[in-house]
Structure 1
Amino acid sequence: MLERRSLKGPVVLGVVMIVLVIILAAMWVVGNILGATGTPVSPTMFWAMLATGGVLLTFVLAGVITYLTLTVKAFNLNRRQSNFIDSVTHELKSPLASLKLYLQTMTRRAVDADQQQHFHRTMLEDVERLDSLINHLLDAARIERGVEPQPPATVRLDQLLDQLAQAACLRYRTDPGVVSVRSNQVTVNSQLIQLEILFRNLIDNAVKYAGDPPEVVVTVSTQNQKDVIVRVADNGCGIPMDQRRKVFGRFVRLGNELERSKPGTGLGLYLVRNVAKTLGGVVRVNDRTGGGTEFEVLLRSVLQHEQSRSSDDTESPPSSPLDFSTGESPMKLPTNQFDQKGDGQENIKPDESTVPLTKPGGPSGG
């Protein structure tokens, strides 16, 4: 969890630096007075004052460097927040303007059935885009304040990835074959909702920034008979080496926000990194062979079972999120979980409703 910074640390550091500077100034004045008056000073006292002054000066320099570092971090955060405000403003204004236009058109003149159907479909997409933005912000807020860990559940990871891939293609209006999931039948024991947030944002990010024509490949492999590795690769322009650590920060989006054509808030990969940490895993960025970017997620000690997928599994992913659970009855949230609508969650209440995994209106990564 990323804790919010308080002013207590910088204030204490500033007070300590002021005190040290005053002590140094006093020692300097005393030394000058003793030298001007010709007062003899013992070698022991001289070296003690010199050593003390050197130590105090070192502390002052360290404090100045710390303040400079904090200032640079604050400047970068303010710049990212400015980009975030620009992107959120655009993400809010565009669908609202579209909704207003279609509603005014339907109110002021008669439209035939085909046009009404087209208007309704477009308006629904705009509403889902707004819902996606809000849920994205809610996910980030939950990550920052921390959420009690959920009990692990048995999840068919390959089927989860299949449905998330289909949902991403629907969101970005691409051919269903754009995202290819290559996996055996892999069953894991992990937090289901966190897995959904993690891989939804990764797949969305890959589809959004893929090349033309887009191509996204999701592969699942295992190691040591206990760890699971998921790689999400796209054929986009890639991420420069010096930017690969930065892309996981809050509000980070490469380039100028006002000149960017891709939608997003800069929170998708931030969610990916923090959810991976919550699950005890790590995420890395690599170059894709042939050009593009590959995100690699290592989930430790989650593998329960692996076997070859049947043709039915490969051709017909589950239409219901509940199919991801391998148990007889649907999974339920524990009583200590919150009741709020998140990405793909329909006002889940403790021990009363099952856990839907995803819907086409979830947020996109990045």
Structure 2
Amino acid sequence: MFERRSLRWPITLGVLMIVLTVALTVGWVLMSINAASSSEQPSVYWTLLAVGSAFLALILTGVVTYLTLTIKSVNLTVRQSNFIDSVTHELKSPIASLKLYLQTMNRRSVTAEKREQFLRAMLEDVERLDQLITHLLEAGRVEKENVAGDQEWVSVDGLVIEVAEAVCVRYQVPLSIIRFDLSACEVEARRMELSIILRNLLDNAVKYAGERPQVSVQATVVDERVKLTIADNGPGIPKEARRKIFGRFVRLGLELERQKPGTGLGLYIARTLVRRLRGKIRVVDNETAPGTTFEVVLPGRAAERPAAAPSTAKPLPTDEEAA
């Protein structure tokens, strides 16, 4: 409620100021025209009309600019508040879990099976913390234009499979949930930056996919540009939010009601790095099925070699086979 009010008051005040300024401008113009038409020296009134209208136009421009900047500032404050809530939750949950497991192992004797189970759970918590810290560090790093390291021709198809395997291991899902349609292609980039882009997009695709996750990745070369498409079968993103989600700290919905972990930095990092590589990223309509489809277009070229293929991936089952 406080966040809504904090945004409502600047908008209300700004609209009132705009209305008053417009009303004052109209009144000033009408009075000046009336005075000029009945005066023996109309040039004086026309001069005053021009000067006064210019000043009122400047005031109106200032009011609109102030209102716009205030709304942006309030929205940024709300996003930062959501980000703090998210990071606090992401830090406290695994730390509390680690503390509980360690206390249990320290205070009582546990069987070898239980100890192995605890260690696996603790490793998952550590990986969750590592992912959070990595995102925070990457968000600060991408703000700097001068990044160390020379660009090279990176195999997109090979890197896609490498990143996909790592993401599937993290979420403990088989690589077979991802369908690959990859052409042999290369992009001139820093390998680490391209890896971050792919990891953030594939991480989102697997994390927000449906109960029976299905993800498809396609890479093609069109007119000396590599087009990469990553689609999932999740709930999708509303059209009105498709541009907003690439902002910093942006996550859809209320922070305390979310089921999925995250910081709202992944897509911001991906967009920043894509732009640095002179490319474009957007959300496109998925015409064949529900879900979200991200499209990344980067300057690149076809590679004169066979396309890379996952060694352990299996075709996704059809709907009839799944039934």
**TM-score normalised over the length of structure 1:** 0.72
Q: Which residue of 2 is the match for residue 124 of structure 1?
A: 123
1:88-127 deviation per Cα after TM superposition (whole angstroms, max 9, x unaligned) = 1110011001100000011001112222222122112111
Tell me: CA distance 1:178–1:316, structure 2 relative to 1, closer, same or farther (3 Å). closer
Letter in 2 for 1:148: V
1:287 aligns with 2:285: yes
Shift in CA distance, 138/253, structure 1 to aligned 2, threshold 3 Å: same
Between stretches 288-297 and 140-149, larger displacement belongs to 140-149
**Aligned partners of 1:316 and 1:196: how far apart in 2?**
21
| Structure 1 residue 170 displacement after superposition | 1.4
Question: Which residue matches 2:172?
Answer: 173
**What's the offset of the Cα at 1:145?**
3.4
Cα pair distance change 1:309/1:144, threshold 3 Å = closer
Contact persistence 1:191–1:279 (CA under 8 A)? no
Q: What does residue range 100-179 of structure 1 map to in structure 2 within 5 Å?
A: 100-148=99-147, 150-179=149-178
* Cross-structure match for 2:92: 93
1:148, CA displacement in angstroms? 3.1
Letter in 2 for 1:282: K
1:304 Cα deviation (Å)?
A: 5.1
Question: Residue 238 of structure 1 contacts residue 292 of structure 1 at CA under 8 Å; is this kept in 2?
Answer: yes
| Contact 2:82–2:249 (CA under 8 A) maintained in structure 1 | yes
Higher RCO structure (Cα 8 Å, ≥6 apart) = 1
Supply the AA of the counterpart residue of 1:230.
Answer: L
Match of 2:63 in 1: 64
Q: What's the offset of the Cα at 1:274?
A: 0.7
**Taking structure 1 as reference, are residues 189 and 144 closer, same or farther at Cα in structure 2, changes over 3 Å only?**
closer
- Separation in structure 2 between the aligned mates of residue 290 and residue 157 of structure 1, nearest angstrom: 25
Q: Distance in 1 between matches of 2:181 and 2:187?
A: 16
CA deviations 1:42-93 (Å, max 9, x no partner) are 3222211111000100010010000000111111111111111111111001
Distance 1:121 1:56 in 2: 69
Aligned-partner Cα distance in 2 for 1:138–1:131: 10
Pick closer, same or farther for the CA change 1:230–1:306 going to 2, 3 Å. farther
The answer on 1:315 being equivalent to 2:311 is yes
Identity between Structure 1 and Structure 2 (%):
50
2:276 counterpart of 1:268: no
Using the alignment, how far apart are the partners of 1:41 and 1:151 within structure 2? 76
How far 1:149 moved relative to its partner? 6.2
In 2 relative to 1, CA 306–72 (structure 1 residues): closer, same or farther, beyond 3 Å?
farther
Give me the whole-angstrom Cα distance separating, in 2, the residues matched to 1:292 and 1:316.
25
List per-residue Cα deviations over 1:256-291 (Å, max 9, x = no partner).
110000000001111111110001100010122211
Other-structure match for 2:238? 240
Q: CA deviation at 1:306?
A: 4.3
Written as runs of structure 1 = structure 2, the 5 A alignment for 1:147-226 is 147-148=146-147, 150-224=149-223, 226=224
Asked if the contact 2:176/2:312 (under 8 Å) is kept, the reply is: no
Distance 1:227 1:265, change over 3 A: same
Question: What displacement does 1:184 show?
Answer: 2.7
Report SS of the residue matched to 2:143: helix
Taking the aligned partners of 1:229 and 1:57, their CA distance within structure 2 comes to: 50
Q: What's the secondary structure of 1:63's corresponding residue?
A: helix
| 2:58 maps to amino acid | F
Q: Partner letter of residue 246 of structure 2?
A: F
* Aligned position for 1:350: none
Residue in structure 1 matched with residue 6 of structure 2 by the alignment: none
Matched residue SS, 2:92: helix
Q: Unpaired runs of 5+ in structure 2?
A: 1-20, 314-323
Letter in 2 for 1:188: V
Secondary structure at the aligned position of 1:148 is classed as coil
TM-score, normalized by length of structure 2? Answer: 0.81
Partners of 1:184 and 1:307 within 8 A in 2: no
Amino acid at match of 2:52: G
The runs of 5 or more residues in structure 1 that have no matched partner are 1-20, 318-366
- Whether the 8 Å CA contact 2:187–2:298 is kept in 1: the answer is no
C-alpha distance in structure 2 between counterparts of 1:78 and 1:49, whole Å: 43
Query: Per-residue CA shift, 1:200-224, capped at 9, x if unaligned?
Result: 0000011111112011111100112
> How far apart in 2 are the matches of 1:193 and 1:306?
23
Identify, as 1 or 2, the structure richer in helix. Answer: 2
